Structure 1
């Protein structure tokens, strides 16, 4: 049949629509815009035939999102016949884009269906892969729905590879056989994408991210080895939901372990919602005819308004670089396009609008085997800003968590320097000082790692739960807020007299410490998304001795709950482990609470009176 008669194809029966590969591809005309099904749903048999058997073609544009399978049309020898237009740059098309033999169209996946439907991105031919039709004539697009369904609905010619190995996925994944022009039956294994091996950096990042995820949260897991590895760290969570563009095999494990139930989702309750899947046959068998799983197009799954309707929506995506102000590059390495916009911004913005939502950007602290920092003073020349300073929320490296939403440039810079690799921290700090992002009084950062292992939650007498952790440089403002929240009496007892102000320039020595000769522990509680500092306990080694001076302060409304005792005992424990023999302290004579804490500690206590002060010596047992 000639291409001119293609409008008659859809009226024919299924058997009459069956063509050989060569017959089907002969219907494609020179200059046609050809869409190819994406990711693991790529119709490999059709794509191979497009290059091998369609000798009549020239000047054809190939439109594609995620390219995982064969992509011979990107080879230089076919440049007169095909030119690739990628909406997401994958490993098989990266070189062609870098050399100018292929195009890259940066676009949010939530907007791409509309651009296709409106004709702004024309599609003449859609090469897709589907299941055999069911008894009602419906074929499922299987593992890849995102843009593929829209492309098929708007193409002038739809050629479908019918593959019995394609899983039948529920939701909005169906296309009726009446809307398919040509069928090429060919069974072959669906493309597989095994899970990447976990490494120590991914595991450390995953541990931090898991701390940010509450029971009942709904998750989006972005493309990349680190976001996927986070799933393995969630086995102790309850009633998680999934609303994500990409579905991977790690979700199957969490379903089988009873962690992912989708029972607390605000919309699509009880359902895993995605738009495409990448994994092994185990994942494809899981989604096959599974009522728990539904795939939809990207204009629904990636729609920030839809995403925001989930309470406690958590979006987790990987970045390539982050600068000290919070700008995130996720699609390019300098001037070279590495991936694409994809759905990262869609989900980040949706999560930020969600009630109790969190947007998490994960990134290893270094690249090129530790030679360069991914936390940068400025983004590399040519690097694209996928997330603006206003989009960023949490940034997580293997060295910790930086919470940037609502923070000043000073607070952002200090938070990000704190989670950079230790060997790059002071270079970043010096740059930040030079450009007045942070005050000149900020002390150099220690090259030791933040002692994350010292964090612990404690329960007070009234049942309140408090996080005890070592102080961080980014805590300067919180420490200042604590000072001004204290009563006059508490200030006098802590600082042994009247102190009217505590400017930032005096705070830096208290928040930038070595965690060995100096230790500062803070007690914090969550007030919604805000962390409040309610107590501080500290010691500082006295030079040339095995003793340290100790001090404690608890906010007035948190006193008499046992928090001071907990802080003191923990400081004693840490000091003994670091080789100290005891503490000394200056205490006002009327500070009976502090003396009570010392006496009931069980350590040997000596003291003498000097004026209106006790000089206390505490020897550890």
Structure 2
């Protein structure tokens, strides 16, 4: 059988493809842009679902409307799509470190069905998961069933995110634009934080950074840097600009020199076009990109992440707002520990000094009740607000308290000092 005939023999409608899923099977999809929309939309039409589970991460689509006894919805990082479902009790949340997900999922799931959006088949009969490798890449080999959604808008990328037609049970075609992220507006405070963080990055450093107003501001201030490397979990749009400007070269990286390494990408059409057949970008499993043991081998690793609030101990809550769940851990703790172990590594956590139009301080004596600790006091290195840099690594509690109050908004500093004295953190 030729590759073309094999392809044609496996073409199905989305409804017919999902009927291959049996009761009790666990269904897993890549995060964000790798989700297969046509296959997901077809799941509720499958009358044979019973006791199945669907695992998603950072989903950008609304949670499926389906009876939980037929299909239980489990998120591994709440996104804009499934956040309302979590609050309504229709979606559950699985705590995890991003790096642990492949092993965690392998241990807790059974009869794994993988569904993913892929690029069109190449001359060798292979499909690329394109914007993703994440946890899916390591679960391909022992999957019970693989259902693919072929989309010509999905870039063909390099790395360990490739499947062969012989591994696939069914294919559907659905040529629709991938989820796109709009470039966020950068405020004056974002720009100041970006300037401060860029000043902590040296020529030749290897950087982990994601998407958002502050990360974008940081990268705007890196235009004058030289020979930066990228070793990240998410590849954002601004990395394209720095690559094209000759700032990102990866020449000094010891691991995969000259290549940007990532486990997923999410952004604009410009980013997806840049990724297509680009040998300078490598997609690898998150169990490797976020492995602390690997990160510890990278000289001059700079990790940049954001948080919701920081207490006097340096504990960072990056997952809940007002005690209610908003996202999850992701890879923040992975990279905080990795940067701490990296020779000359720097772990940077950033946030605005206030919230709610300046009425609430985000530097707090203690985390809000119900908040979780994402980055621990033992792993935290530097905290940056628009008022400066607090270097916490190697600092005692009273030193940490003083440093954090110094970068709080000025109108809250006096009250923070009062609270610190009541707690015995200042005398």
Does the alignment pair 1:107 with 2:100? no
Give matches, 1:43-58, under 5 Å.
Answer: 43-51=36-44, 53-58=45-50
In structure 1, the residue matched to 2:6 is 13
Q: Over residues 443-497 of structure 1, what are the superposed CA-to-partner deviations in whole Å (9 max), with x where a residue is unaligned? A: xxxxxxxxxxxxxxxxxxxxxxxxxxxxxxxxxxxxxxxxxxxxxxxxxxxxxxx
Does the alignment pair 1:244 with 2:236? no
SS of alignment partner, residue 217 of structure 2:
helix
Does the alignment pair 1:217 with 2:205? yes
Does the alignment pair 1:88 with 2:81? no
Match for residue 18 of structure 2 among 3, 25, 35: 25
SS of alignment partner, residue 153 of structure 1:
coil
Give the superposition deviation at 1:426.
0.8
Does the alignment pair 1:324 with 2:312? yes
In structure 2, the residue matched to 1:64 is 56
Indicate conservation of the 8 Å contact 1:35/1:151, yes or no: no
SS of alignment partner, residue 322 of structure 1:
strand
Indicate conservation of the 8 Å contact 1:221/1:228, yes or no: no
TM-score normalized by the length of structure 1: 0.66
Q: Which runs of 5+ in 2 are unaligned?
A: none
Q: Structure 1 pair 159/186, CA: closer, same or farther in 2 (3 Å)?
A: same
- For residues 377 and 51 of structure 2, what CA distance do their matches in structure 1 show? 41
Which of structures 1 and 2 has the bigger CA Rg?
1
In structure 1, the residue matched to 2:368 is 380
Q: Over residues 381-409 of structure 1, what are the superposed CA-to-partner deviations in whole Å (9 max), with x where a residue is unaligned? A: 11111111111100000111000000011
Q: How many aligned positions are there? A: 424
- For residues 213 and 247 of structure 1, what CA distance do their matches in structure 2 show? 18
Question: Quick check: 82-91 or 234-243, which moved more?
Answer: 82-91
- For residues 50 and 323 of structure 2, what CA distance do their matches in structure 1 show? 30
Indicate conservation of the 8 Å contact 2:153/2:177, yes or no: yes
Q: Structure 1 pair 330/165, CA: closer, same or farther in 2 (3 Å)?
A: same
Question: Quick check: 140-149 or 89-98, which moved more?
Answer: 89-98
Give matches, 1:151-230, under 5 Å.
Answer: 151-230=139-218
Indicate conservation of the 8 Å contact 1:222/1:344, yes or no: no
- For residues 15 and 41 of structure 2, what CA distance do their matches in structure 1 show? 11
TM-score normalized by the length of structure 2: 0.95
In structure 2, the residue matched to 1:370 is 358
Indicate conservation of the 8 Å contact 1:227/1:362, yes or no: no
- For residues 255 and 167 of structure 2, what CA distance do their matches in structure 1 show? 30
Give the superposition deviation at 1:148.
2.0
Q: Which runs of 5+ in 1 are unaligned?
A: 1-9, 440-621
Indicate conservation of the 8 Å contact 1:116/1:150, yes or no: no
**Alpha-carbon RMSD:** 1.7
Indicate conservation of the 8 Å contact 1:22/1:54, yes or no: yes
In structure 2, the residue matched to 1:269 is 257
Indicate conservation of the 8 Å contact 1:221/1:246, yes or no: yes
- For residues 300 and 430 of structure 1, what CA distance do their matches in structure 2 show? 45
- For residues 138 and 417 of structure 1, what CA distance do their matches in structure 2 show? 55
In structure 1, the residue matched to 2:222 is 234
Give the superposition deviation at 1:126.
1.4
